[in-house]
Chain A
Amino acid sequence: MSQVDEKVEDLQDNAGDKYKYGFVTDIETEKAPKGLSRETVRFISAKKNEPEWMLEWRLEAFERWLQMEEPTWPKVTYPEIDFQDAYYYAAPKSNDDRPKSLDEVDPELLRTYEKLGIPLIEQQMLAGVAVDAVFDSVSVVTTFKERLAEDGVIFCPISEALQSHPELVRKYLGTVVPQSDNFYAALNSAVFSDGSCVYIPKGVRCPMELSTYFRINEAETGQFERTLIIAEEGAYCSYLEGCTAPQRDENQLHAAVVELVILKDAEIKYSTVQNWYPGNADGEGGIYNFVTKRADCRGDNAKVSWTQVETGSAVTWKYPSCILRGDNSVGEFYSIAITNNHQQADTGTKMIHLGKNTSSRIISKGISAGKSQSTYRGLVSAHKRAANARNYTQCDSLLIGDTCGAHTVPYIEVNNPSVMIEHEATTSKISEEQLFYTRQRGIDEEAAVALIVNGFCREVMQQLPMEFAVEAQKLVAISLEGSVG
């Protein structure tokens, strides 16, 4: 049984014990009733003290979800999920429930932190260790927020934004990814826990990279994260999500939604490093990650760029998309998806060209090792009025060993004769000769594989902000450990 499963079991056992001895009240009232119902949704909304419209919105999503079916088209297999056998809301854990020190944390996890060179205090946060409220990053966060406020930038948990800027949230929430967009988006809309809300005012160039890293000490938001970013006319921001360190989470099912609204002349760069627990080498445990991410370029000359490095999760289902509505708007998708052991990833993008002279670029690098399966699934669609739209797609797969699989499923729909679409795809293997050559120079086998794979991913790595790229390169090496020999 995996670490995560064990931990869940542990917690449940504990809860049961406490119930037996009658001092259960505190814990139970902080948890929504098991399963998903109207009551659960009401409970969550009430806990967060949300405005009435928000509750209505969630309930609407829930009704739609009831009528929807789980998608079966992705090339992934996993045991059926019993949505009634899960909790959808738990208050942030008290320190009593957390590991007391790093000694109680899985040594394997610590070894990885070590390799990534993560400072001790961050290791503790990532591993969910109870830490004192007073630590350095609190002051960092405060300074950071003050600086942003000077420019009128809002960057806060979405639950906080619902209190402080409800009209802003109401205006944009669900306008890019509607409640009933798909099964998981509907689920997220009904029960989303928390996430980020970012607002960049007109003409403001956000003075720093906005990173979820600065939110790490706030409430656990992992499971049903909801992010909303709005870039007003001429605004710019770069947003970094996730971190390279493997993140522990006791919830197996993750269904996040990210909505980006980009107005005229504005630009958003959204970078993700996803490294949720992938399960053990035998394919047990691991996170199911079903994500809906979409950007809407509403104004002319708007630009959005998605860059993702996906190395974690047992099952990934994710297609960050761009709606290129404004004329001359630009969408980019740069992706590295690494699967090892028994991981499965079905990921890609959708470029929807609606406006004139819109252009998009897709660079996807899939690396499969072990017994894993990796699929690129992408849609490029150009509508009637998308005159002179352009797309360039390059889709490369690299196989390590002969028990893994890589698949490419491109969909192209063109309804205007002036549109030009290019699609290139390659599949290659790390050859025995390349490995021999590299090792003959004194580089050991694992380092040789990492070097070759990082070379393969270079175009995408170059899109990441500098510090992120350095860490991501190390992450590539760690993700592929044990994939050869």
Chain B
Amino acid sequence: MLEVRNLHASVGGTEILKGLNLTMKPGEVHAIMGPNGAGKSTLAYVLAGRDGYDVTEGSISFCGQDLCKLNVDERAAAGVFLAFQYPLEIPGVPTMTFLRTAVNAQRKARGEKEMDAPSFLRLIREKSKMFKVEDKMLKRPLNVGFSGGEKKRMEVLQMAALEPKLAILDETDSGLDIDSLRIVAEGVNALRSPDHSALVITHYQRLLDYIVPDVVHVLADGRIVKSGDKTLALELEEHGYEAIATDAA
């Protein structure tokens, strides 16, 4: 489903990713762990296609498509979703309007019929319950004045509404209390199916107690230096990144 080969990417002329390889099969959940500055968020942005994150070498193939040839919104329509570490505020745009615009833009890009207001409302009501998002929050401008936890829950609600083939969660657990963490994890688990994969970027093992990954990778200095099953995460927690990274090198 996702095949990243020898990926080199730079930001403002500085090379951050230095030959990264990553293969994900349909339905798998992979975790990426690593120290600060290893290139975790850069990987997320490169996959999403953010301007200024330039691929200088290597390839990214997603469901048979060359992802590098698509722009940001085309990638989104193709099924790549990024839950932001710091979700942005969009003043004056009610959350519901934003969600509906996004869902219909993607449907349109894929040549599907746009959703009418009543069916959309039903869809969102149902998903909102799962993430404990209240109706009045949906009427407020997106993320404006939301608490950290509310913003993260809103990210996962958007993910649930858009049903991406690949959900990338960029440190979604940072700054979350245990209840919100559980809610977020349940959302990801609910989406888990042969058609939906997730790439969970995290600093801490804690989130992986709730979202159990099929594969854990250690990212250090722009490369995956070690991969293993879920026990690798526990190992990391115990010995720290440095030991693992040195060991691998």
Q: Which residues of A contact B73 (CB under 8 A)?
A: 439-445, 448
Given A442-B102, A442-B162 in contact, is the A455-B91 Cβ separation under 8 Å? yes
Q: How far is the CB of B65 from chain A (nearest CB, A)?
A: 15
Given A432-B51, A436-B51 in contact, is the A442-B105 Cβ separation under 8 Å? yes
Whether A437 lies near B84 (C-beta < 8 A) is: yes
Judged by a CB distance under 8 angstroms, whether A218 is at the interface is no
Q: Which residues of B contact A459 (CB under 8 A)?
A: 92
Q: Which residues of B contact A456 (CB under 8 A)?
A: 91-92
Judged by a CB distance under 8 angstroms, whether A438 is at the interface is yes
Judged by a CB distance under 8 angstroms, whether A147 is at the interface is no
- Per-residue CB proximity of B158-195 to A under 8 Å, as 1/0? 10001000000000000000000000000000000000
Give the contact-size bracket for chain A: 20 to 34
Judged by a CB distance under 8 angstroms, whether B37 is at the interface is no
Given A455-B92, A456-B91, A456-B92 in contact, is the A440-B98 Cβ separation under 8 Å? no
Partner of B109, one of A442, A451, A454, A455: A442
Q: How far is the CB of A351 from chain B (nearest CB, A)?
A: 24
Q: How far is the CB of B46 from chain A (nearest CB, A)?
A: 12
Q: Which residue of A lies closest to B78 (CB)?
A: A442
- Per-residue CB proximity of B40-80 to A under 8 Å, as 1/0? 00000000101110000000000000000001110011000
Q: How far is the CB of B169 from chain A (nearest CB, A)?
A: 13
Partner of B93, one of A433, A439, A442, A452: A452
Whether B102 lies near A436 (C-beta < 8 A) is: no
Partner of A436, one of B72, B77, B106, B141: B72
Judged by a CB distance under 8 angstroms, whether B199 is at the interface is no
Whether A451 lies near B88 (C-beta < 8 A) is: no
Judged by a CB distance under 8 angstroms, whether B243 is at the interface is no
Given A440-B73, A448-B73, 8 extra CB contacts under 8 A: A436-B51, A437-B90, A439-B76, A441-B73, A441-B76, A444-B73, A455-B93, A458-B93
Contacts A/B (CB < 8 Å), 23 sampled: A432-B52, A436-B72, A437-B84, A437-B88, A438-B90, A440-B73, A441-B76, A441-B102, A441-B106, A442-B77, A442-B102, A442-B162, A443-B73, A443-B101, A443-B105, A447-B101, A447-B105, A451-B98, A454-B92, A455-B90, A456-B92, A458-B92, A459-B92
Q: Across chains A and B, which 3 residue pairs bring their CB atoms closest together, nearest first?
A: A455-B92, A455-B93, A442-B106
